[in-house]
Structure 1
Amino acid sequence: MGHFPYDAVVFDLDGTLFDAEEGIVSSVVKAMKEMGLEIPQGAQLRQVVGPPLRYSFHDLLNVPSERLDEAADRYAHIFRSEGMYRYSVYPGIRTMLRVLKENGIYVALASSKPRDLCEHILRHYGLRHFFDRVIGETDSHAKLGKPEMIRRALPEHYERAAMVGDRLYDMEGAKAAGVDGVGAVYGCGSVEELQNAGATLLVSDADELRELLCPGAAVPRGFFLSMEGPDGCGKTTQANLLEKSLRQMGFELVRTREPGGCPISEKIRQIILDTENAEMCANCEALLYAASRAQHVHQVIRPAVEAGKVVLSDRFVDSSVAYQGGGRAMGVDMIRQINEPAVDGMLPDATVYLAIDHTTAMNRRLNASRPDRLEMESGAFHGRVQAAYEELIDRDRQRFIVVSGDQPVEEIARQVLRQVLKRLEPDCEQEA
């Protein structure tokens, strides 16, 4: 067990690993509406997260006993088709699970949800590979109860174990199973509820939980991801969709852009893109981009990656190589040399390139809004940009993730996410 307090940790699902409130509450409300039942005045809907489902419907929402089966069936259908996709992994949980596994700690799940549903949720959000065992209720009416689920989740041999949860049922179950109860105050239970239920310790967020379970353990290095492509390729739209998906899966993400990304670099961006600066020479332009990048790397990118974050940048040095090296015909190697001190060893771990013909892309861009100084360049300029990108990809195929940008937005997003996850966490298998 080394210097860690526990060699086995069991987690609850809702309110502990996942912010489940929106998904569960929306499913409960829709089920009640379909049954023609009113939500009782003053009902605290947040309290339906955590307790057994039939208890929530009967005791919190006053559903008649004879309609509980109907309520449970309606809820289950709505939740599986809609509600579970409104979950999000709490910030810091993914990092904590990774640290636990990298340090050899046994990790399990014990939830009052059916086991197959627990498995599906964990796989959909790419967390299943962190867990040694998953225990949930069966579909039968003979429920295991939290204490028995915790016992079944634990390994055959362990020195000291903890159950982490956000409601009184988790703390009472831990006590009955003979393990420490760690109350997650960031979930749906109150401090008073958790303390009264016998919590051994309380934590206010996932970072505090990580420090409790893995004191002194180093946070793994983060990941630097950039997105590239010709103007009009849909890059920013895809970056937005990728950011949303990664955040929902619990990746701690820093979103940024180039040129810009921090106050000094944003001021340089204004100079570069200002249409009134038409007389700017190619050397000046290239050096301004490099200067902006140097501050961006120093102030934003490197600190975030070293802190374990995922940095997602809308453009990086490859844009300079393509636009100044190719478009301005300054040469790929010249622009790389100019940017070497700016990049300072922080080349992206992976780069998504949206491949689309520059003419098609520029037509899209011009139909969207007023173009900036570089977007007003000739078709020949943008043709050279595209050729330079293709040369970069040929030189470094291992880094680049090439996805066709001439597809429906949703399909591009699906392919980008799948390929990015392979780079971020090779063991992560997301299930639709």
Structure 2
Amino acid sequence: MTPYPGRYAATGVFVCFEGGEGGGKSTQSRLLRERLEAAGYTVRLTREPGDTPVGAELRRIVLSPETGELAHKTEVLLYAADKAEHVATVVEPALARGEVVVTDRYVDSTLAYQGAGRALAAEEVEEVARWATDDLRPHLTVVLDLEPQEGLGRFEERDRIEGESLEFHQRVRAAFLELAARDPEHYLVLDARGSIDDIAAQVAARVEPLLASARRQTRPEEPA
């Protein structure tokens, strides 16, 4: 895959949670937000797809089983449109304000699901995704790794992507691990079978050194 140089925000902190289905990304995203807010930081918790009005419509299309089959390139472009709107209207403005942005999924999900999962040309998928996001990279990506069989077993009902074959999800998992192995400075891979509290503590320890550029909330002085 052609390497891309990457662009990292000069203000704020950008943290992303990635991984396959059922790994606890939403839970860990929420716990990190709660921990940082308790420490006085301004945090913007977000997700992909769907955390903009445009993204909500795109999320309905790409995840609803009622959508049925989509051409694989169509799927890539729909996810890219969500990312472009998300970065332009949510992520970049929050980082410019010096906030901590915590997102549940980002570019790596497109590379893993639409690239490896759909078996499209990795370089082409990455070019579209990086262009859509102006090549903005998270300061840290946490990959919550879990065997697909176990992760998928945590759902009673599955959306359009979760309902793909086991082989599809195995390719997705391998792609996430490959992305992390190529850039250990900006990735943290954790076993999603660990306890929620242990995982949260490991994430917090890795995020702590990044917080120097994040803005703390202004609080009134305590009375004497």
Work out whether the TM-score is over 0.5: yes
C-alpha deviation, 1:249, in angstroms: 0.7
Q: How many residues align?
A: 204
From 30, 35, 43, the counterpart of 1:240:
30
2:145·2:190 contact (CA, 8 Å) conserved in 1?
Answer: yes
C-alpha deviation, 1:231, in angstroms: 0.6
**What corresponds to 2:55 in structure 1?**
265
Matched position secondary structure for 2:67: coil
TM norm structure 2: 0.87
**What corresponds to 2:188 in structure 1?**
401
Q: How does 1:21-420 map to 2 (within 5 A)?
A: 221-364=11-154, 366=155, 369-420=156-207
Which structure 2 segments of 5+ residues have no match?
Answer: 1-9, 214-224
Matched position secondary structure for 2:141: strand
Letter in 1 for 2:181: D
2:107·2:130 contact (CA, 8 Å) conserved in 1?
Answer: no
- C-alpha distance in 1 between matches for 2:196 and 2:30: 11
Which structure 1 segments of 5+ residues have no match?
Answer: 1-219, 427-432
Structure number, greater radius of gyration: 1
TM norm structure 1: 0.46
- C-alpha distance in 2 between matches for 1:424 and 1:322: 28
Say which structure, 1 or 2, has more relative contact order (CA 8 Å, 6+ apart): 2
Matched position secondary structure for 1:308: coil
Matched position secondary structure for 1:407: coil
C-alpha deviation, 1:331, in angstroms: 3.2
- C-alpha distance in 2 between matches for 1:276 and 1:298: 29
Post-superposition Cα deviations, 1:340-378, rounded to whole Å, max 9, x if no partner, equal: 2211032111111112222211112x2xx4211000000
Post-superposition Cα deviations, 1:257-301, rounded to whole Å, max 9, x if no partner, equal: 001211111111111111011121111111100011001111011
- Runs ≥4 in structure 1, deviation > 4 angstroms? none
Matched position secondary structure for 2:170: helix
- CA RMSD between the two structures: 1.4
